[in-house]
Structure 1
Amino acid sequence: MTLSAIKEILPRLNEVVFELEDGTLVPHHFHVTEVGQITKNFIDCGGVIRSEKVVNFQLWNADDYDHRLKPVKLLNIIQLSEEKLGIEDAEIEVEYQSTTIGKYDLTFDGTKFILQNKTTACLAQDACGIPAEKPKVNLSNLVANPASSCTPGGGCC
């Protein structure tokens, strides 16, 4: 989900709810402690220089159980970040504390924002020699070479 997409959704909501992919709700008393833009410049394993930008939201839980972040407040935080930091429209990455700080992609199911697990990947599979997909071979279609095959009772095994 992009920053522009969440800005279109928030005015239509009565509450802001985040849910992990496994159905666990982020406690309703969460805070958005950071909104920023992260730029990552790197070289992949194939030697290609790459750059990636994401808008980062950090969610945090405190012991103030009566806290509820309203959609208009989150929209105001986003707009202030755009104004003061010059944040550009980009995909949103959410940081949320579980056993360690997790990074998640964000989608919306019509009522809740869903934190989707992120995965790693090789960006230069062709340079690494990683096959796109392991070829599937149907063993019943293999033709045996009579000169190199064993036959029952042939004494080669």
Structure 2
Amino acid sequence: MRISEMKQSLQGLDTVNFQLPDGSYLPAHFHVTEVGLVSKHFIDCGGVERQETVANFQLWEAGDYDHRLAPRKFLHILKLSEKILGSNDLDIEVEYQQATIGKFGLTFNGTDFVLTPKQTACLAQDACGIPAHQIELPQLQIASCTPGGGCC
């Protein structure tokens, strides 16, 4: 999800809810504690120099159970963040504390913002010898195997 999509989604909401990948929701008293610009300049394992820039939102919860972030307040926070983010329509990455700080992508399902899992990947698979497609293995018929039957 990009910043412009988030702003548009917030326009039609009465409440702001974030759903975790497992289907559970962040407590209603969560805070947006940071909106930042994160730039990553790196070299992949194939030697290709790369750059990534995202808008990073940090979500946090405290013991102030009466706190509720209204859509208008969230839009105000996004307006303030333009000092840092500029007018770029960046992809959004979300940080949320679990066993460690988790990083998530973000989508909107028409009602709630949904945190999506992020995965690591090899960006230079051809240089590492990783096949571009997965090889499908034949399905084993385990139920028909019997000791001495020759199928194992």
TM-score, normalised relative to structure 1: 0.84
Where do residues 10-89 of structure 1 align in structure 2 (5 Å cutoff)? 10-82=10-82, 84-87=83-86, 88-89=88-89
Instruction: Determine the structure 1 residue equivalent to 2:131.
Output: 131
Q: 1:34 to 1:137 in 2, by over 3 A?
A: closer
Q: Which runs of 5+ in 1 are unaligned?
A: 139-157
Q: Which runs of 5+ in 2 are unaligned?
A: 139-152
Tell me how large the CA RMSD over aligned residues is. Answer: 1.2
Question: What does the per-residue CA deviation read over 1:73-129, in whole Å, with 9 as the maximum and x for residues that have no partner?
Answer: 0100011111x2143211100000010000000000110000001100000001111
TM-score, normalised relative to structure 2: 0.86
Q: 1:129 to 1:80 in 2, by over 3 A?
A: same
Give the whole-Å Cα distance in 2 for the aligned partners of 1:24 and 1:127. 40
TM-fit CA distance, 1:135: 3.8
Instruction: Determine the structure 1 residue equivalent to 2:141.
Output: none
SS of residue paired to 1:72 = helix
Instruction: Determine the structure 1 residue equivalent to 2:143.
Output: none
TM-fit CA distance, 1:136: 4.4
Give the whole-Å Cα distance in 2 for the aligned partners of 1:40 and 1:10. 28
Q: 1:136 to 1:25 in 2, by over 3 A?
A: closer
TM-fit CA distance, 1:134: 4.0
Q: 1:21 to 1:137 in 2, by over 3 A?
A: closer
TM-fit CA distance, 1:133: 2.3
- Quick check: 2:93–2:103 contact (8 Å CA) kept in 1? yes
SS of residue paired to 2:55 = strand
Does residue 115 (structure 1) correspond to residue 133 (structure 2)? The answer is no
Tell me how many residue pairs correspond in the alignment.
137
Q: 1:86 to 1:134 in 2, by over 3 A?
A: closer
